[in-house]
Chains A and B, each alone.
Chain A
Amino acid sequence: MKFIPLIKTCIKALVRNPMRASLTILGIIIGIASVIAMVEIGQGSSIQVKQTFAEMGADTINIRPGAISKSGINTGQGGRATLTPADSEAVVQDCTLITRASPVVRASGQVIYGNQNWNPSLIEGGSVDYLKIKNWYDMEEGQPFSEQDVEEAKRVCVIGQTIANELFKGESPLGKDIRIKNVTFKVIGVLRKKGANMMGWDQDDAIIIPWTSVRYRLQGLGGSSSSSESSSSTSKVSRSDLFPTTGIDYYTSNSDQPYSNAPHPRRFKSIDYILAQISEPERSSDAVDEITEVLRAKHALCPGQADDFVVRDMAEMTRAFSSTTEMIATLLMVVAMISLVVGGVGIMNIMLVSVTERTKEIGLRMAVGARPKDIMRQFLLEATLLCLVGGILGIALGKGLSYIIANTLKWPTASSPEAMIVAVCVSAIIGIVFGWYPSWKASKMDPIDALRHE
């Protein structure tokens, strides 16, 4: 029997009993539609969860200089000045999992505007990418600083809402000059409100400045003394640090390697840490390995030599992130499976009824020359056709449902072409799997008994 007449026969057989066919299709429609709607809603929420976690910083990695022991006193992490802006660039360029990185320089001090003053908990210098990584690029008011501002070490800053409230008391801070350690910075933007972070710190109590400005203007001019102090954390670095005349052990060599034998170029632009963003937060530990490899090569560290930097990811948060997304995915899978199985059982049920009801027809077809495999093929194809039609209608209904849900309940949804393709394939497979037994039963009928069946 050729394929096209077979399909025609099947369609005729289905059309002959429109009620039964449409009820069967309905089962599959509901199954597939719920899968599509579930997947779309699930993907939407998954994306939103991802965004939420990203906002909390789960997709960031901190790279800090390593520790050093100087005359028996360990400085702790960040004690050395081994990281440079060039390292930050290298991390972005050479690590496939890293999408952005920014050198960060920290500062602290009192901020003054008019007769108001405030001590922000965070004054950091970063690049434009810093704002993007922190999800702060879109300003509440004003503009973020530009690449050019960073290059030229402009005295501009963007401030958090807490500072805007404390210093400006309802005035618009845009265009106003504030003073940090006697250096004036123009406020060009106000950051979006973030609230407290997981540790309970007010994230809006922050001033962000181009890192070059912090490095060369704030730190470079601010402090006049204590050049011996480590450049690391909060405090001042004198001009002599920037333009050293004496041999300050600024780029501390490893103790077993005499300085004279290690003609490293001196790096004056040391930074406090590098803030990097991962493309896939689930793979942050891979990213850590990648960064370690890149930086070891860049710092020319021999095998066996200890890292002169520390890479840390937000392990706890990424774990929470991946377990959440995993849970959503599993939940969706279960729901999808249940509805598909229910639809499949519906198909099987109807096909079995159909086979019983059409026993006489089967007997007749066999008597006039249909082989068992012709009968089998016909019923299998009928089941598959039902499922395919149901699948296609189900996709339409599912899309409609998710659209309605997205618009009325304001749930996030994301369309998923893969889910549609999979749904169509799955519905065809359901047709074959659940149509198999009834078709097999039909094909095994004895034509004599089948003809005699009333």
Chain B
Amino acid sequence: MIKLVDITKVYHLGEIDLPVLKGISLHIKEGEFVSLTGASGSGKSTLMNILGCLDRPSSGEYLIAGQDVANFNASERAVLRNKRIGFVFQNFNLLSRTSALDNVMMPAVYSHPALSTKEIRAHAELLLNMVGLTDRMDHTPAQLSGGQQQRVAIARSLINNPSVLLADEPTGNLDSTTSKEVLNMFKDLNREKGITVILVTHDPKIANFTDRAINMEDGLICEGVSSMLSAVKQ
């Protein structure tokens, strides 16, 4: 499903070249539930941006479903993100003063081929139902709790039936109870719908919740279970 071959990313800060990813090769199979962990500065965010097609690698191959997307331009990447990748953010990123339903429907207006508003609405209502917000569809983000907002965001990420869900610290702003709910939701999506879920986190406990943990250290992947993770497991 997702295959990275020797991916590097170098930032040019003035005269200095700053290598952030130093040759990452990674394979994530369809339907996997993985976590991406690592300390800050390890290149975790950069890898996540590349995985989410928000950024381009400096070199290397990036295959999604057999398609090399490493050299896609901004427009092509936008179309790809729209079709294949769902995003869930730490701070929810919902449109303020906009109803939950409209928030969920938003990504669908950019999809090709375009669906009718009626179809989009029906699908959005279904998704909001699924995340348990049937009676909150007309509420704006300000009228929802953090957990409810994140559930709206999850519904939004699913509107275009993506094959990959990329969640960046999805529980970072939530308390432990709602965190558990949200994580269970990801697990259900993975188990029941077969969606590939990539959780980006710094929390070993959350990484432990997933099937596989990919640990990053200094721009490289440390194969196997990280020391941090094994400490928790013991």
Q: Which residues of A contact B (CB under 8 A)?
A: 1-2, 5-6, 8-9, 12, 16-17, 360-361, 363-374, 447-448, 451
A364 to B93, CA, bound (A): 7
In B154-190, the 8 Å CB interface with A consists of 156, 160
Please tell me which stretch of B28-36, B58-66, B103-111, B212-220 contacts chain A, meaning at least 4 of its Cβ atoms lie within 8 angstroms of it: B103-111
**Residue in B closest to A15 when the chains form the complex, CB atoms:** B97
**Residue in B closest to A360 when the chains form the complex, CB atoms:** B93
A374 and B110: CB pair below 8 A?
A: yes
Cβ of B83 < 8 Å from any Cβ of A?
Answer: yes
A369 to B52, CA, bound (A): 11
A1 and B110: CB pair below 8 A?
A: yes
What would be 8 A-B contacts, judged by CB atoms less than 8 Å apart?
A9-B109, A16-B97, A360-B93, A361-B95, A364-B95, A370-B82, A372-B74, A448-B49
B75 and A369: CB pair below 8 A?
A: no
Cβ of B203 < 8 Å from any Cβ of A?
Answer: no
A6 to B95, CA, bound (A): 16
Residues of B in contact (CB 8 Å), total 28
B75 and A365: CB pair below 8 A?
A: no
**How far apart are B192's CB and chain A's nearest CB, in angstroms?**
23
A366 and B78: CB pair below 8 A?
A: yes
A370 and B102: CB pair below 8 A?
A: no
Instruction: Give per-residue flags for B63-85: 1 if the beta carbon is below 8 A from chain A beta carbons, else 0.
Output: 00000000000110011011100
**Closest 7 interchain pairs by CB?**
A369-B82, A368-B107, A371-B78, A371-B75, A369-B110, A16-B97, A5-B109
**Residue in A closest to B89 when the chains form the complex, CB atoms:** A451
Q: With a CB–CB cut-off of 8 A, which chain A residues contact B122?
A: none
B114 and A370: CB pair below 8 A?
A: no
A371 and B95: CB pair below 8 A?
A: no
**Residue in B closest to A2 when the chains form the complex, CB atoms:** B114
Q: With a CB–CB cut-off of 8 A, which chain A residues contact B83?
A: 369
Cβ of B117 < 8 Å from any Cβ of A?
Answer: yes
Q: Given A448-B55, A451-B93, are A369 and B111 also a contact pair (CB < 8 Å)?
A: yes
Q: With a CB–CB cut-off of 8 A, which chain B residues contact A9?
A: 109
Q: With a CB–CB cut-off of 8 A, which chain B residues contact A447?
A: 54
Cβ of B230 < 8 Å from any Cβ of A?
Answer: no
A367 and B54: CB pair below 8 A?
A: yes
B87 and A368: CB pair below 8 A?
A: yes
Cβ of B98 < 8 Å from any Cβ of A?
Answer: yes
A373 to B160, CA, bound (A): 20
Q: With a CB–CB cut-off of 8 A, which chain B residues contact A360?
A: 93
Q: With a CB–CB cut-off of 8 A, which chain A residues contact B89?
A: 451
> Which residue of B79, B81, B98 contacts A367 across the interface (Cβ within 8 Å)?
B81
**How far apart are B41's CB and chain A's nearest CB, in angstroms?**
16
**Residue in A closest to B109 when the chains form the complex, CB atoms:** A5
A241 to B140, CA, bound (A): 102
B74 and A365: CB pair below 8 A?
A: no
A373 to B74, CA, bound (A): 10
B81 and A372: CB pair below 8 A?
A: no
Q: With a CB–CB cut-off of 8 A, which chain A residues contact B52?
A: 367
A370 to B79, CA, bound (A): 7
> Which residue of B54, B75, B87, B109 contacts A1 across the interface (Cβ within 8 Å)?
B109
Q: With a CB–CB cut-off of 8 A, which chain A residues contact B109?
A: 1-2, 5-6, 9
A448 to B87, CA, bound (A): 12
B79 and A371: CB pair below 8 A?
A: yes
Q: With a CB–CB cut-off of 8 A, which chain A residues contact B96?
A: 16
**How far apart are B22's CB and chain A's nearest CB, in angstroms?**
20
B74 and A371: CB pair below 8 A?
A: yes
**How far apart are A424's CB and chain B's nearest CB, in angstroms?**
28
A373 to B111, CA, bound (A): 14
> Which residue of B102, B107, B110, B156 contacts A371 across the interface (Cβ within 8 Å)?
B110
**Residue in A closest to B140 when the chains form the complex, CB atoms:** A16
A1 to B117, CA, bound (A): 12
**How far apart are B198's CB and chain A's nearest CB, in angstroms?**
15
**Residue in A closest to B80 when the chains form the complex, CB atoms:** A369
B114 and A368: CB pair below 8 A?
A: no
A369 and B98: CB pair below 8 A?
A: no
A6 to B87, CA, bound (A): 22
Q: With a CB–CB cut-off of 8 A, which chain B residues contact A374?
A: 78, 110
**Residue in B closest to A364 when the chains form the complex, CB atoms:** B93
Supplied contacts A1-B109, A367-B54, 14 more A-B pairs, CB within 8 Å: A1-B110, A1-B114, A2-B109, A16-B95, A16-B96, A16-B98, A366-B78, A369-B81, A371-B79, A372-B74, A372-B78, A374-B78, A448-B49, A448-B54
A367 to B79, CA, bound (A): 10
B78 and A369: CB pair below 8 A?
A: yes
A368 and B156: CB pair below 8 A?
A: yes
A370 and B95: CB pair below 8 A?
A: no
Q: With a CB–CB cut-off of 8 A, which chain A residues contact B82?
A: 368-370
A451 to B45, CA, bound (A): 13
A447 to B75, CA, bound (A): 12
Q: With a CB–CB cut-off of 8 A, which chain A residues contact B107?
A: 368-369
Q: With a CB–CB cut-off of 8 A, which chain B residues contact A5?
A: 109, 114, 117
A369 to B156, CA, bound (A): 12
A366 to B96, CA, bound (A): 17
A256 to B49, CA, bound (A): 103
**How far apart are A8's CB and chain B's nearest CB, in angstroms?**
8
